[in-house]
Amino acid sequence: MGMLDGKVAIVTGAGRGVGRGEAVALAAHGAKVVVNDLGASVVGEGADLSPAQEVVEVIRSRGGEAVVNGDDVSDFEGARRIVQSAIDAFGALDVLVNNAGILRDRMIFSMSEEEFDSVIRVHLKGTFNTMRHASEYWRTESKEGRQPRASIINTVSSAGLQGQASQANYGAAKAGIAAMTIIASLELVRYGVRANCIGPGGFTRMVGAAKQDVVVRHPDEYETFDRMNPGNSAPGVVWLASDDSIPVTGQVLRVVGNSLAVYKPWELGQQFQSTDREGNPTQWDPAEIGPTLHKFVFNTINPGIARLGIG
């Protein structure tokens, strides 16, 4: 018995790298998989169904069930067709894994409008598009008395959650995906849908495009454990897709190499109150903000500290 027996999953961007590893792993644990990949280049140009077809053949050769879909996630109607392809092929949809993406790296002062828009369109809008159509399907199922036990798993990156120079477009998209996932977890829980993120790592085509000395291999081509295998995050996706993770929603997991961690969301640090001489609440004086933060938060020296008598 597999952890995902009887479930139907979509994996976008599943022709190579992280997505390929996820699709193969989901199928190995019993899921029927729609392998979606437009087959574009790293920068989003062209189309080629052969990578997705190759993944389907790998899954079938191992006894699994899978079909190809070549629609573009960034196209609203294309995303609808991706969702419908799972229902048409397998009669249901239980798991949506959003992984499709492109890169257009450039420093912010050199980045063009098109370079920014194209990355946002594929990553952020593409994730919204598939979530939009899948959630509508699950909402209808719930209202008709067939309560889902469904899972959305969106791909994020340290570029968005921790920052990375030259990736303002990519990082903004990934941070937006994390926020959108948390919001979706609040909206969809009543319909039996949980929404979480996975933060993968490894030597992917995107990494290879940025670093010339990287050897890029398919996740299923590694014979022994390698920290840079882009398929190392796939077990986390399998778990989030399974019913074992039903209590978990609105979380961001990082699975890189053999390391597992959960990102903490934005949270407030120490709070300070501004008061007048009598201790009554009052609006902050801009001149007092710097000395307060430098002394108690940033641990730096600010001339205003002496003026305010802090320390």
The alpha carbon torsion through 19, 24, 30, 31 (nearest 10 deg) reads 30
The one catalytic residue among 157, 233, 242, 245? 157
Name residue 152's amino acid: I
Name residue 292's amino acid: T
Residues 267 and 261: their CA atoms lie apart, in Å, by: 17
Question: By 3-state DSSP, what share of the chain in percent is helix, strand and coil, each rounded to 5?
Answer: 45, 15, 40
3-class state of residue 35 by DSSP: strand
Residues 29 and 167: their CA atoms lie apart, in Å, by: 35
The H helix count followed by the E strand count for the chain is: 11, 8
Residues 250 and 171: their CA atoms lie apart, in Å, by: 19
Q: Which DSSP category does 250 fall into?
A: S
Rounded to 5 degrees, what are φ and ψ at 169? -70, -50
The one catalytic residue among 170, 185, 233, 242? 170
Q: Establish whether 174 is a catalytic residue.
A: yes
The one catalytic residue among 32, 135, 174, 245? 174
Q: Among 2, 25, 59, 32, which residue's Cα sits nearest to residue 234? A: 25
Residues 30 and 152: their CA atoms lie apart, in Å, by: 17
Q: Establish whether 242 is a catalytic residue.
A: no
Taken in order 72, 74, 77, 81, the sign of the CA dihedral is positive
Q: What are the tokens at 5?
A: 């027996």
Q: Establish whether 170 is a catalytic residue.
A: yes
Residues 170 and 162: their CA atoms lie apart, in Å, by: 12
What is the set of active-site residues? 157, 170, 174
